[in-house]
Amino acid sequence: MKAKKFLYSQKTAPYVFVLPFILSFIIFWVYPLISAIVMSFQNIGAITVQWVGFKNYAKLLKDSVFHIALANSFEYMLFTCLLLIPFPMLFAVLMDSNLVKAKGVWKAVLYIPALTSVVISGTLFRLMFSEYKTGQMNVLMTQLGLQTVKWLKIKWTSEIALLLLCCWRWTGVNMLYFLSGLKSIDKELYESAEMDGASGWSKFRYITLPLIRPTTIYVLTISIYAGLAMFLESFMLWAGNSSPNNIGLTIVGYLYKRGIEKDQMGYACAVGVVLMVIGLIINFIQLYLNGSFKKEEK
């Protein structure tokens, strides 16, 4: 009876309901994070563990392959943010207007790629951008009277393939985020603007953009994280973690190569910690610039 009263108590019930989340957060996030930070200062072998201090981080400063992976991840993050914010926003505005018919069908068509496995998506795009004449992109190039291209062996063409894969998968998801933001805008604001003779661009600029700003900040935040953490798309596009001259190698891919393929877990953890710090710094800067830390005036 005492246990029952304890569980049904108004003071203890909230903690009981929150406890599963707290436990999972500690076990699956806090503990692995602390372990990774500790391991980044160690040299972990098959049997022995040796404390090496900042040796792994000093090695990163001179690691040219890590620098290539870092540059690739930054480029990918930048281009995905430039593509996966304005275009999904535009599609969401169109879906929210009266210009598009059969909205449910278009939403489903744009969202279906997100439900497709990354393994399947990467394999399909690898076949599409094959260097052979039978690849769909080279078939198109031949029909246009152009020469075939070794898409995944050239830096800029491989970036096109990777970005197309990313946009194909995530445009629909970001569009739904923006649609949810648009649904929270009072339609009377648009009606008042129309009565004042405002154009479509004016309504978008002075009503839509300011009022979906929280949604935009959220999409930007997750896009930065997703761009820096991208791995499986690149891994599947090149059928492994070894692209020509490391043109497709990302930070997470390099972490996988060092930790899993070469069994250097201490060094891999150092790569992971650096990635986490970089992601936090970038997101804190953009959140600060967007005014997310400012107190609202009452």
Chain CA centroid to CA 254, Å = 17
What digits encode the pLDDT tens for the residues 216-261? 999 999 999 989 999 989 999 998 888 888 899 999 999 999 988 8
The DSSP 8-state label assigned to residue 84 in this structure reads T
Alpha helices in the chain (DSSP H): 2-7, 13-25, 31-39, 55-61, 64-83, 86-96, 103-115, 118-128, 136-143, 155-183, 187-195, 200-203, 209-211, 213-229, 232-237, 251-256, 265-289
148 occurs within a structural domain: no
- Number of structural domains found in the chain: 1
Full residue range of the structural domain in which residue 273 is found: 57-121+155-289
What is the secondary structure of 117-183 as a DSSP string?
Answer: -HHHHHHHHHHHT-SSTTSHHHHHHHHTT-----GGGSHHHHHHHHHHHHHHHHHHHHHHHHHHHHH
What per-residue confidence (pLDDT) applies to 193?
84
Spatial separation of the C-alpha atoms in residues 136 and 149, rounded to whole Å: 11
- Phi/psi of residue 203, each to 5°? -65, -40
Alpha-carbon distance of 247 to 72, in angstroms, equals: 7
In a domain, 75, yes or no: yes
CATH number at residue 84: 1.10.3720.10
What pLDDT is attached to residue 298? 47
In-domain check, residue 14 = no
The terminus-to-terminus CA distance of the chain in angstroms comes to: 48
Distance CA 58, CA 78 (A): 27
Contact between residue 246 and residue 68 where contact means Cβ atoms under 8 Å apart: yes
Dihedral over Cα of 59, 62, 66, 70: its sign: positive
Give me the residues of the chain with pLDDT under 70, please.
1-10, 295-298
Residue 166, CA distances (Å) to 139, 227, 228 in order: 22, 10, 13
Distances (CA, A) of 298 to 8, 185, 287: 38, 21, 21
Residue 225 forms part of a structural domain: yes
Judge whether 62 lies within some domain: yes
Q: Is residue 18 part of a domain?
A: no
pLDDT tens digit sequence for 39-49: 999 888 777 78
What pLDDT does 260 receive? 87
Confirm whether 263 is domain-assigned: yes
Q: Is residue 231 situated within a structural domain?
A: yes
